[in-house]
């Protein structure tokens, strides 16, 4: 996310991918921020 | 003569009925019987005109199909109504070949076959994916052990340097000077060879998104079966030719490196997924462009590359 400070856009979303899944903290964080979490299972089933 | 007899027979038999004449492996037919293209040209210009025959010519040699069928020097130039390049399956289509595998193994199956149905069918015959990969790639008699070399020989006259270039890129050399150093040839020569491999869709050049400067681009392997093969097979050749060793080396060394390789495949699959859900409620925006972006970090003196 620190890297994205180089991009000067007002509205930014993050899509994060993980083969193994995400920690409960990150899942909570994603709910209230512009973060979309996608797991390997999502990729194959949704 | 054979061609004319065959086509006359078809015209007579089909009458006014809608008929499809499908010739598979056309490049091999043309190699055995070179006049076939001119004969087809004459039929397209005359006898086929008043029939309901659709002629389909099929072939996997891209250079032949593009130059000697579609090319302007071909007798068939300008006589083709439709051309279809049959693409490999994407990760979702590939997944259906392996219903019994878990998702991570399906990713590996896609990553080593590149979504080519023939290769997927061969791999799907094994209950255990590692047994399948070992038998197909890491075995002197395996179906895929020599496949990339054979494909290159089919398309190109001097495959050796091409193979070295692909291997260089598979091992992480991405810029022209790095590849030239690895293969020990001058960049001008390597650049020409790379262009041919890009035409064959084995390689591609990736630029930071929004930056089309040719100097910024890096070379990557587009064909995933080639990428898998040149990442793992040539450097383990010594073990492959000794079956007693390969089992041990595969389990202890090769397999543990798949995870890094899968990172690259997962990145590709993630891009395909983003396009798949683009325009659906799953994304709160519509993607116009999708790609990697990298830049010299202006905040650090060493100009470390930032990859996104």
Residues B51 and B107 in one domain: no
For the segment B23-43, the average pLDDT, to the nearest whole number, is 90
Task: Quote the pLDDT of residue A1.
Answer: 67
For the segment B167-171, the average pLDDT, to the nearest whole number, is 95
Q: Give Dmax over CA atoms of chain A in angstroms.
A: 34
B2 pLDDT higher than 70: no
For the segment B136-141, the average pLDDT, to the nearest whole number, is 95
B12, B82, B26: which is closest to B54 by C-alpha?
Answer: B82
Chain A residues touching residue B308 (CB < 8 angstroms): 3-4
Q: How far apart are CA B226 and CA B111, in angstroms?
A: 10
Q: How far apart are CA B258 and CA B13, in angstroms?
A: 55
Domain span holding position B36: 2-69
Asked whether the beta carbons of B108 and B262 are under 8 A apart, the reply is: yes
Asked whether the beta carbons of B10 and B40 are under 8 A apart, the reply is: no
Question: How many folded domains does chain A comprise?
Answer: 1
Residues B138 and B255 in one domain: yes
pLDDT in tens, B217-239: 899 999 999 999 999 999 899 88
Q: How far apart are CA B273 and CA B269, in angstroms?
A: 6
Q: What is the least distance, in Å, from the CA of A44 to any CA of chain B?
A: 7
B65 pLDDT higher than 70: yes
Residue B288, helix vs strand vs coil: coil
Structure tokens at B146: 């020599």
For the segment A27-32, the average pLDDT, to the nearest whole number, is 92
Domain span holding position A32: 3-45
Chain B residues touching residue A9 (CB < 8 angstroms): none
B188 inside domain: no
C-alpha distances (whole Å) from B135 to each of B26, B140, B265 are 31, 9, 22
Residues B9 and B140 in one domain: no
Say what the alpha-carbon torsion angle B173, B226, B213, B274 is, to the nearest 10 degrees: -120
B13 inside domain: yes
Residues B64 and B104 in one domain: no
Question: How many folded domains does chain B comprise?
Answer: 2
Give the least confident one: A29-43, B170-184, B233-247: B233-247
Q: Model confidence at B1, in pLDDT bands (50, 70, 90)? A: low
Model confidence pTM above 0.80:
yes
Residue with tokens 């094994």: B126
B297 pLDDT higher than 80: no
Interface mutation vs chain A, best among B90, B258, B260, B269, most A CBs within 10 Å: B269
B202 inside domain: no
B303 pLDDT higher than 60: no
Q: How far apart are CA B156 and CA B63, in angstroms?
A: 9
């Amino acid at each position: 996310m620190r890297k994205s400070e180089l991009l000067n856009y007002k509205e930014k979303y993050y899509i994060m991918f993980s083969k193994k899944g995400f920690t409960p903290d990150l899942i909570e964080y994603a709910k209230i921020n512009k973060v979309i979490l996608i797991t390997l299972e999502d990729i194959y089933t949704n | 003569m054979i061609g004319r007899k065959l086509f006359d027979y078809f015209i007579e038999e089909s009458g006014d009925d809608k008929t499809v004449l499908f010739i598979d492996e056309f490049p091999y037919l043309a190699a055995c019987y070179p006049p076939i293209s001119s004969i087809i040209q004459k039929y397209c210009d005359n006898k086929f005109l008043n029939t309901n025959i659709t002629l389909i010519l099929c072939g996997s040699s891209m250079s032949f199909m593009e130059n000697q069928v579609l090319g302007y020097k071909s007798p068939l130039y300008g006589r083709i109504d439709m051309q279809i390049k049959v693409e490999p399956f994407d990760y979702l289509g590939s997944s259906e070949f392996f219903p019994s595998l878990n998702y991570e193994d399906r990713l590996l199956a896609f990553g080593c076959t590149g979504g080519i149905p023939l290769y997927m069918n061969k791999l799907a015959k094994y209950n255990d994916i590692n047994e399948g990969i070992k038998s197909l790639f890491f075995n002197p008699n395996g179906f895929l052990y020599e496949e990339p070399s054979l494909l290159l020989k089919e398309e190109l006259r001097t495959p050796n340097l091409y193979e070295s270039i692909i291997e260089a890129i598979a091992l992480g050399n991405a810029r022209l000077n790095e590849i030239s150093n690895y293969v020990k040839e001058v960049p001008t020569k390597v650049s020409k060879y790379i262009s041919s491999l890009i035409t064959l869709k084995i390689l591609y050049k990736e630029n930071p998104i929004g930056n089309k400067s040719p100097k910024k681009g890096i070379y990557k392997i587009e064909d995933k079966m080639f990428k898998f093969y040149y990442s793992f097979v040539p450097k383990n050749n010594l073990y492959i030719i000794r079956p007693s060793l390969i089992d041990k080396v595969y389990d202890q060394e090769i397999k543990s490196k798949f995870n890094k390789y899968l990172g690259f495949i997962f990145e590709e699959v993630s891009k395909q997924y983003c396009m798949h859900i683009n325009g659906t409620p799953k994304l709160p925006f519509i993607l116009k462009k999708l790609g990697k972006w990298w830049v010299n970090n202006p905040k650090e003196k060493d100009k470390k590359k930032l990859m996104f």
